[in-house]
Amino acid sequence: MAKRFALVGALFLAVASFASTGDIALFVNLGFSSDSKYFMFGQYGILEKNSTPWADSYIIDVRANAYVPRGTNRFSSAQPVEPGASAVGALLNTLNDSTAQKKQYRIDHLLTGRLLYVLIDGEQAADTLEFRDFPSGRSYKVSLIQGTGTTDSYPSSSFSLAISIIEKDGKTRTLTAGNSSYRRPGVKAYHIKQIILAPDGNSLVFLIQKEEQDSHGSNVRYMVETVKVK
């Protein structure tokens, strides 16, 4: 257990160090509902152009793969932070504003699911992942398919996920996620950052890292896609 916490701490420090070099958001898993039907996550950071803190929080209907009504909260400050300061306070402000929604959807910050895959900062992102989840006996193959182009001289990209699941009895199922026909303006590329198994074992949450380009430079932001596996 000590080794596990040491690893988590090392990952957090690595991400924090990486984030300080540019306009890169930090992702926070904020937990599932008690029945695993809803998932909450946040992201926060400091805008490189003016050193102001910002944060977003989202509650997702896992079965519908969609935001719940009034499930998005955003905070931004006009006051720049001091050099070396953290923007975590911006995230705490969004959580305070989300109190009613957290209660409505029974979000438990301790129910974070089980991490099946994580892309370590500094490692090369792969478009195809193959791994085994030993507790469930399932094997997974996930392929990230991207389409790129330009809109008004800025990049725009789409993505989809092709997912194969082999159960321990040998049965194979194929699933898809994402939308290959929708190009998000300003997005240069997508990467699979994390794959999380819901606490009830019935759903997967894919954390997608977006490389964005605007007039001020490059940014990193996050979104999620969810699929039912049972």
- pLDDT(145) > 50: yes
DSSP state, 99? Answer: H
> E strand or H helix at 103, and its extent?
helix 99-104
Residue 59 gets the label, from left (phi > 0), alpha (psi -120 to 50) or beta, of beta
Check whether 14 has a pLDDT greater than 90.
no
pLDDT band at 49 (very low <50, low <70, confident <90, very high): confident
Separation of alpha carbons 182 and 184, rounded Å = 6
Distance CA 139, CA 113 (A): 18
Cβ-Cβ contacts under 8 Å for 100 (sequence gap 6 or more): none
According to DSSP, the β-strands at 23-24 and 217-228 are parallel
Task: Tally Cβ neighbours within 10 Å of residue 10.
Answer: 11
Q: Taking the CB of residue 142, how many other CB atoms lie within 10 A of it?
A: 23
pLDDT at 152 over 80: no
- What pLDDT was estimated at residue 5? 39
The Cα 103–Cα 198 span in angstroms is 19
What is the model's pLDDT at position 154? 80
* pLDDT single digits (tens) 81-91: 888 888 999 99
The residue among 58, 32, 33 whose CA lies nearest residue 44 is 58
State pLDDT tens for residues 156-172. Answer: 999 999 999 999 999 99
Q: Domain limits of the chain?
A: 1-112, 113-230
Task: Inform me whether the pLDDT recorded for 15 exceeds 60.
Answer: no
> How far from the centroid of its chain's Cα atoms is residue 149's Cα?
23
Q: Distance (Å, rounded) from C-alpha 161 to C-alpha 132?
A: 18
pLDDT-derived band at 9 (thresholds 50, 70, 90) equals very low
Identify which of 45, 35, 46 has the alpha carbon closest to the alpha carbon of residue 203.
35
- Torsion sign (Cα): 14, 223, 66, 70: positive
In the prediction, which pLDDT does 48 show?
87
User: What pLDDT is stored for residue 225 in this prediction?
Assistant: 97
Asked if the model's pLDDT at residue 21 lies above 80, the reply is no
Distance, CA of 157 to CA of 218 (rounded, Å): 15
Query: Is residue 3 pLDDT above 70, yes or no?
Result: no
Task: Write the pLDDT tens digit of every residue in 88-138.
Answer: 999 999 999 999 999 999 999 999 999 999 999 888 999 999 999 999 899
Closest Cα partner for 58 from 116, 23, 105, 115?
105
Name the average pLDDT for the chain: 89
Query: Three-class SS of residue 140?
Result: strand
